[in-house]
Amino acid sequence: MIRNITLITLLACATLPFSVASAALSPAPEHSFSAVLVAKFITQFHYKKNKLDDAQSKAILSKYIDTLDPNRNIFTKRDVETFNLYNSTLDDAIRDGNLSPAFSIYRKYNQRRIERADFALQRLTQSFDFTIDEHYQFDRSESAWPEDKKALNEIWRKRVKNDILTLILSKKSDEEIQKRLSKRYERIKTRTSQVKAEDVYEAFINAYLISIEPHTAYFSPRTSENFNINMRLSLEGIGAVLQTVGDYTVVKKTIPGGPAEMSGQFQSEDRISSVGQGVDGKMEDVVGWRIGDVVALIRGPKNTVVRLQLLPKGNEDSPGKIVTITRDKIKLEEQHAKKSIIEIPNGDTTSRIGVITIPTFYMDFEGARRGDKDYVSTTRDTRKLLKELQAEKIDGLVINLADNGGGSLPEAISLTGLFIESGPVVQVRDSDNKLDINEDTDDDIAYRGPITVLVNRYSASASEIFAGAMQDYGRATIVGETTYGKGTVQQVLNLNRHAPRNSATLGQLKLTMAQFFRINGDSTQNRGVIPDIKFPTAESSSELGESALDNALPWARIKAADYEPYGLIRDDLSTIQARHLSRTEADKGFQYLQAQAEARKNALAKTSVTLFKTARKEEREKQRNESLTRLNKFRTSIGLSPKKMSDLENDSEVASDEDEKFLDEVKNIRVKEAAAILADLITQPDTSVKVTQSNTQDSGQKN
């Protein structure tokens, strides 16, 4: 399914009726100028230097249509065939600043959306037979285009029937169902009437950019302004990045230090179906809402309560759960590096393993600029923690980069420098094939002992640079999951700086201009960093990561930089791998994670649901019971009381001590195994390992 990732909607607010709004949908002069300017930047400065030709024209058209109608339930086959007349002409149109084709397609899209909403409203007033064995295909992204309006009507008849059945199973009254769905379908018409020319241009030009590469994007003046406002105001909210997927606002990720992340109740791709204010305020159905309006409901003053009904991705049968969150500022200190110690029994001895968890690569640039003595940064904070851990006599160190999405590149380089003498850390190649080697120039080593670096599928960008460098130098054993694979560099350009003075505001272009390469010559792009010891995977590479994105740049290799590996990592990890597998197969925590991953995989594989009420209810109850069984099996294994079915659907504002313990246990499942692997590396003899107990307690000074 095509995903439109944003913190605000692409649809602007307006109050025009549909007929007037549609008639007014024509490009402004600044849109034409912007299109020409964007095309020049892309063809001349983008890392791929894509030609704007007939082949690209076809790709742009396909992406534009899929962006507008990702589920193939708005356009008919004949509509698409008509659009295909532009297959080989959009390249010329963009170069000439001619946006008529793009606006013509969008006007047809608006017309069809109104038709679909009117049909849904009309069909809602009629009865349905829920004893018929038929299915609703909720994911049509890979299906053929509907032949005609009759076929569309059948798709939407089943959609309305499914919407009603879902609410019936959620024990809503007939009156409430009619009221809620009427508002939902009317909202489609309202949203359609609110579209402005700026939104059409933004959607089209982004289809052009995404057809080249997924991290290049255009931000209209309104999107740029609202994005900045959201970034400031989101400091008092729930701390989550949201996106639009079809009719839903979904959780893309939670921000370290924010209420959502600290609650432990949110999963990536959770869909928000309703929002309520306070501990007992009415839940407002937000399916089909503009994302900006959903954000406005979620955001609010510090220390106030908001409730969200969350539906897991791909699970149409789930009743979801209501999560209660107290709005707060993102606690920046929660993003700072933190330490802990895990003791791993080894026969008659115990290995003390230090853990430093780094949620993001950060630096207080303002503090550094002012010359503050104690300004914070990942490297400075980690250096302090290393001194403290060594004073506590640790035997080894785990650096936890799980869920670390990146951040400051200089910090990734300087952090690497804490564990190596001076040398190259990452290579950067730009669109002109110019290569720049970024080095650590500090000879000091803060810690010389054995290290494992824990990563997962959410470890990206700067995390991958650090993990890759530590692996290439043979300085650490990498454990966990294959990382995200984000190995490109973007720069944001203000288009008005390249336009005549007094031009209308043109917006911004985020342009991919370079690519990262490890010092061994491999790129982190697409493939990510592959662990030396892989954990059972919780996330599918087909669903998450760079390789799951359309038109992502491929993996590549260049000449290795000049560096000297430390040779501290074993050539043969088979014994360590066997011990790891033995532990994880018996570990209740890993069994829980695997069972959860398998259930998620099965849910994502489904593209349809039955509309036979009895069978649907049985499937729903089966899934709920299986979910409760998985949860309680793990809870009882760690000495916690089992949950009831009602607990899965409602979350208390204040987490109990048991809930806090459960969340901590889940977060630490992989961390504990990373520590156990390191303990094995320390205690299991291997002649190829040059790290010895005598140098694990180094004073921090270079020899």
Tell me the catalytic residues.
Answer: 461, 472, 486
Structure tokens at 633: 């099996």
Which residues are registered as beta bridge partners of 251?
A: 242
CA 524 to centroid of chain Cα atoms: 18
User: Which residues does 113 contact at the CB level (< 8 Å), separation at least 6?
Assistant: 74, 188, 189, 192
User: Cβ distance 233 to 6 under 8 Å?
Assistant: no
SS3 456: coil
Would you state the torsion angle of the CA atoms of residues 204, 213, 292, 117, taken in this order, to the nearest 10 degrees? 50
CA 573 to centroid of chain Cα atoms: 32
Q: Which amino acid is at 476?
A: A
Distances (CA, A) of 673 to 74, 136, 449, 483, 504: 49, 43, 18, 18, 57
Tell which residue, 478, 487, 669, 497, has the closest CA to residue 591: 669
Q: Are strands 451-455 and 396-400 parallel, antiparallel or unpaired?
A: parallel
Using the structure block, give the residue that is written with the tokens 């019971």: 625
Alpha-carbon span 359 to 338, nearest angstrom: 9
Q: Are strands 240-245 and 248-254 parallel, antiparallel or unpaired?
A: antiparallel
Alpha-carbon span 461 to 484, nearest angstrom: 8
Alpha-carbon span 404 to 455, nearest angstrom: 8
Region of residue 466 (left: phi > 0; alpha: psi -120 to 50; beta: else): alpha
User: Which residues does 117 contact at the CB level (< 8 Å), separation at least 6?
Assistant: 185, 186, 188, 189, 192
Structure tokens at 487: 């190995």
User: Cβ distance 399 to 449 under 8 Å?
Assistant: no
Residue 538: how many CA atoms within 13 Å on its side-chain side? 19
φ, ψ dihedrals at 455, nearest 5° = -130, 160
Tell which residue, 263, 260, 215, has the closest CA to residue 242: 260
E-only strand ranges, 347-472: 349-357, 396-400, 423-430, 435-440, 451-455
Alpha-carbon span 69 to 155, nearest angstrom: 14
N- to C-terminal Cα distance for the chain?
Answer: 56
Structure tokens at 340: 């802990």
User: Cβ distance 558 to 517 under 8 Å?
Assistant: yes
Structure tokens at 259: 């209420």
Q: Please state at what angle helix 462-472 crosses helix 409-417, rounded to 10 degrees.
A: 30
E-only strand ranges, 571-645: 608-610
Per DSSP, the residues of 331-360 read -GGGGS-EEEEEEEEETTEEEEEEEEE-SS
User: Which residues does 122 contact at the CB level (< 8 Å), separation at least 6?
Assistant: none
User: Cβ distance 300 to 233 under 8 Å?
Assistant: no
Per DSSP, the residues of 632-675 read HHHHHHTTPPPPPHHHHHB--SS--HHHHHHHHHHHHHHHHHHH
Tell which residue, 137, 130, 136, 81, has the closest CA to residue 105: 81
